[in-house]
Amino acid sequence: MSSALFRSVVLVISCAACNATSDRLENGQDSTLLARGVDTRASTYKDPQPPRTSPRTAEPAGAAEGADDAISGRTRNETIAELHFRVPDEWTRQASSSPAEGPTFVIPGPGGDAELTVYSFPDEREGADSAFQRWRAQFSQATAAPDGAAKPAQAMVRGPLKITLVDMPGATGAQVLPDASGRRPGPQDRLLGAIVERDPQRYFFAAVGPAPTLALWEQAFADFAATFAVRSAP
């Protein structure tokens, strides 16, 4: 047999062997090899990640609490005698039951309602400084708070008005202003006050109530005090 013929025979035999192997795989005869392929694919499979648009988990109970205490930022006009000012819409005005008092504004908040009481009377003997000292002494006696707990009074001038702001932590409404004995002492209370002077008239605004409530309205109270003005004659 010539060498050329021998090479041709070997080539034919090799092709036949390849075709036989292919037939065995297609007919499922080499199950072990196929199983290994499936196992390999299964071992690399991973669960798909949740879509980014999946809904957020539910908020814990109570997360929405305090929504009613939100500040809207809206205000309205109020007038007492010649004095004009603006208060937050959430502050509810109530008529006074005492001839010595002006109106009362109920201030809602997370610690419970606070009350802004207004007094107006001519008294040249007591200005803002003496009123501040008197309030501080009365608060210290009623709540056992340190005499120096009150922040220094801050004064500003708006036209003919001198306005003094007062902040007293640990305050109580008892005996703070005339005819205020109906209020119960509260060692966790706080007072935000504004004394408005226009000789010879004095206006006293005292917001007394739970500290968390007045903390919520602290900036709004300062904004309210900055709106005081003398009402123009009609």
- Residue 139 domain-assigned? yes
Number of domains within the chain: 2
| Residue 116: per-residue pLDDT | 94
The CATH number of residue 222's host domain is 3.40.1000.10
Residues spanned by the domain of 158: 75-230
Per-residue pLDDT, averaged over 38-52, amounts to: 37
Query: For the whole model, what pTM was predicted?
Result: 0.61
pLDDT tens-digit map of 87-134 = 999 999 998 776 667 889 999 999 999 999 998 877 655 566 666 666
- Residue 131 domain-assigned? yes
- Residue 51 domain-assigned? no
pLDDT tens-digit map of 126-184 = 566 666 666 666 655 544 445 555 566 788 999 999 999 988 876 555 555 544 445 55
Q: Are residues 32 and 95 in the same domain?
A: no
Q: Phi, psi at residue 89, to the nearest 5°?
A: -60, -25
pLDDT tens-digit map of 192-219 = 999 898 877 888 898 988 999 999 999 9
108 or 31: which leads in pLDDT: 108
| Nearest C-alpha neighbor of 114 from the set 214, 219, 215, 222 | 214
Q: Are residues 23 and 115 in the same domain?
A: no
- Residue 169 domain-assigned? yes
- Residue 56 domain-assigned? no
Q: Are residues 130 and 207 in the same domain?
A: yes
Q: Are residues 28 and 83 in the same domain?
A: no
* CA 124 from centre of chain: 42
Q: Are the CB atoms for 213 and 107 separated by under 8 Å?
A: yes
Q: Are residues 27 and 129 in the same domain?
A: no
Beta strands (DSSP E) in the chain are 75-80, 83-88, 92-94, 104-107, 114-122, 151-158, 161-171, 189-198, 201-210, 229-230
DSSP letter (8 states) at residue 126: -
Q: Are residues 32 and 103 in the same domain?
A: no
